[in-house]
Amino acid sequence: MLEVLNGHGLSDVVAVVTRWFGGTLLGAGGLVRAYGDATSAALDIAGTRERRLLEVVRVRVPMNEAGSMEHRLRQAGEVIDAHYDERVTYRVATTDADGLTRDIAAWSAGTVQAESVGSLWRDLGA
């Protein structure tokens, strides 16, 4: 079963095969084939989904710069949410937090700072 999962290039997956004994002794080789075939069939039916770990960056922007900054942030990453008070606080998921931080500093002439606040997994192509 592990060889089938490895052969499909999968990680962070668990496979469970349950076999009810029906009186036929398969032997070690037969069990290996049966479990491998069952795992392979399950993968064919279920399919797979790629996931990517993204870094989350928090950006606090003055209200008068929020429109243009939000546009740029949406082009650079995934805006998870925005909170509005005296400033607008965005949380943005990106594959390159350092690059996004440099871009934000350039876009704002150094007046807006970004800080890393964690990470999250996102399914690709879902």
In 3D space, the residue among 38, 26, 28, 50 whose CA is nearest the CA of residue 1 turns out to be: 38
What DSSP state is assigned to residue 65? G
Predicted confidence (pLDDT) per residue in 7-57, tens digit: 998 988 899 988 888 777 888 888 899 999 999 999 999 888 888 999 999
Cα(18)–Cα(111) distance, integer angstroms: 60
Q: Which CATH class is domain 51-123?
A: alpha beta
Predicted confidence (pLDDT) per residue in 74-111, tens digit: 999 999 999 999 999 999 999 999 999 999 999 999 89
CA angle 52, 57, 62 (to 5 degrees): 145
The whole-model pTM stands at 0.69
Q: Is the pLDDT of residue 126 over 70?
A: no
What DSSP state is assigned to residue 23? S
58 pLDDT band, cuts 50/70/90, is: very high
Contact status, residue 62 vs residue 89, Cβ threshold 8 Å:
no
- Domain chopping of the chain, boundaries: 2-46, 51-123
